[in-house]
Structure 1
Amino acid sequence: MSNPSPIRVFVADDHPMIRAGLRAMIDAEAAFSFVGEATHGEEAVQRMPAIAPDVALMDLMMPRLDGISAIARLRPLLPATRFVILTSLLDPAEVRRAIDAGASGYLMKNASAHELVHVIQAVHAGRRVLDAEVTDALVGAQQQRSPGGDLTQRERELLALMAEGLNNQEIGQRLAIALPTVKFHITNILAKLQVENRTEAVILALKHRLVPAR
């Protein structure tokens, strides 16, 4: 029975020592094959399509084009390539941006060689892998998220009118919408803010500045 083909890995990082270290780690693994490198995001976008690696390790902060923006441009061209962000920056917003761009993995640069090997193998197998520190940061950010972040623009308009003291009929007249539509929006607002009534919704909205203070 023949051995499976090695996982072809590309590295994009603007630090020569990090590129050299990653290449040495990849070369030391019989299951991996180093197929190319780039010193910044634009170079990665230029070089990678012709190489079509199985896995690309992308630094987050690079000159000319950051790693996430490079992934967003490469993903449509390389649908079979799995992208892993390697970074020292632990920012939940950047993690979400990376996932939205098409990254399959997000790993801190202080990870061990064993962890990196596992991540490369896992994303190549089609799984999404986040560093434990990254997962903790995402959970913490979700818990600390201010209420009202998921309100639509129309719901914010209604909430502002509720804060002015308008009743349902007055809100409907002001926004030129039917009374059942007003009630529907208010039900959604109470559910999203996790409150029981209009008064609690207005208090919460003023506390978190979801509506202008009067």
Structure 2
Amino acid sequence: MTAEKPIRILLADDHHVVRLGLASLFDFEASMEICGFAEDGLQVVEAYREHHPDVVLMDLRLPGIDGVEATQRIRDESPEARILLLSAFDTDQDINRAIRAGAAGYLVKNTPADELIAAIQAVHRGEEYFTEEITARMNEIRKADDLSARQSEVLGWLAKGLTNREIGDQMGISEDGVKAHLKVIFTKLHAADRTEAVAVAIHRGYLREE
């Protein structure tokens, strides 16, 4: 019987000590091996092209381009890429951006070693790996994903501080039409008013903070 090949991991983190610690962890896992390292987002993209790893384990906060942007670039070139993001942060905005970029999993850095190993194995099998807490938050986030293109446009103008009349002028619709869109937006974002709608949209990653 042929021995199963180890999972080849590309490890990306800008902290040398973190890279060493994770590399040491995988040294004790016969089913896994490090095939490359990267210290910033652009290096990850180049390293993926060079090594074609089975799984990318990547820090969210990287110099140059961050882990989310690196994920997007890798998956644009290689849709089959399996990427697990590891971060010290777990805000809705970070999680939502990671999911939209195509990350297969998201873990915080205080995750126990055995769970990290399980996550890598799951991602390697082609599965997604998110904790129950993050999954619950993802479900809430996805409730707003059915905003129409027009509603998203209204939200964008709203974030720029335009009045209903000004938004209508920009979009070529009536002020009443803008109000109708806002009513739906408030409902979908569970927002009480314009300010809260913009704040929720920024928090969830639908809008970038100016």
TM over 0.5: yes
CA contact (8 A) 1:8 1:53 kept: yes
Q: Give the direction of change, closer, same or farther, for the CA distance of 1:32–1:114 in structure 2 (3 Å limit).
A: same
Partner of 2:194: 209
Q: Secondary structure at the match of 2:77?
A: coil
Which residue does 1:42 correspond to in 2? 42
Whether contact under 8 Å (2:105, 2:130) holds in the other structure is yes
Distance 1:130 1:209, change over 3 A: same
Larger Rg: 1
Query: What is the Cα-based RMSD across aligned positions, in Å?
Result: 3.4
Summarize the alignment of residues 1-214 of structure 1 with structure 2, pairs less than 5 Å apart. Answer: 1-138=1-138, 150=147, 152-153=150-151, 175=173, 208-209=193-194
| Deviation per residue, 1:97-128 (Å, 9 max, x gap) | 11111110100100011000000000111111
SS of 2:76 mapped into structure 1: coil
Q: Structure 2: how far apart are the matches of 1:153 and 1:78?
A: 32
Gaps of 5+ in 2: 155-163, 166-171, 196-210
The alignment partner of 2:126 has SS state of coil
Tell me if the contact between 2:12 and 2:37 (Cα under 8 Å) persists in the aligned partners.
yes
Amino acid at match of 2:147: D
Residues 134-168 of structure 1: CA deviation (Å, up to 9, x unaligned)? 3354456679x8xxx93634996xxx68xxxxxxx
CA deviation digits over 1:49-88, x for unaligned, max 9?
1100000001011111111111111113333321010001
Structure-2 change in CA distance of 1:12 and 1:98 (3 Å) = same
Q: Would the aligned equivalents of 1:104 and 1:123 in 2 still touch at CA under 8 Å?
A: yes
Residue equivalent to 1:198: none
- In the TM superposition, what is the alpha-carbon distance from 1:193 to its structure 2 partner? 6.2
Relative to structure 1, is the Cα distance of residues 139 and 5 closer, same or farther in structure 2, using a 3 angstrom cutoff? same
Determine if contact 1:108/1:131 at 8 Å carries over to the other structure.
no
Change (3 A) 1:46 1:122: same
Residues paired across the two proteins, number: 174
TM-score w.r.t. length of structure 1: 0.68
Structure 2 equivalent of residue 170 of structure 1 = none
Deviation of the 1:209 alpha carbon: 3.0
Alpha-carbon distance in structure 2 between the residues aligned to 1:155 and 1:40: 33
How far off its partner does 1:9 sit? Answer: 0.5
Q: Is the 8 Å Cα contact of residues 54 and 80 (structure 1) preserved in structure 2?
A: no
Task: Find the aligned partners of 1:128 and 1:46 in 2 and give their Cα distance.
Answer: 24
- Cα gap change, 1:28/1:74 in structure 2, threshold over 3 Å: closer, same or farther? same
Identity, % of aligned pairs? 35
Q: Distance in 2 between matches of 1:9 and 1:141?
A: 30
Q: Summarize the Cα distance change of 1:15–1:208 in structure 2 as closer, same or farther, 3 Å threshold.
A: same
- AA aligned to 2:47 is R
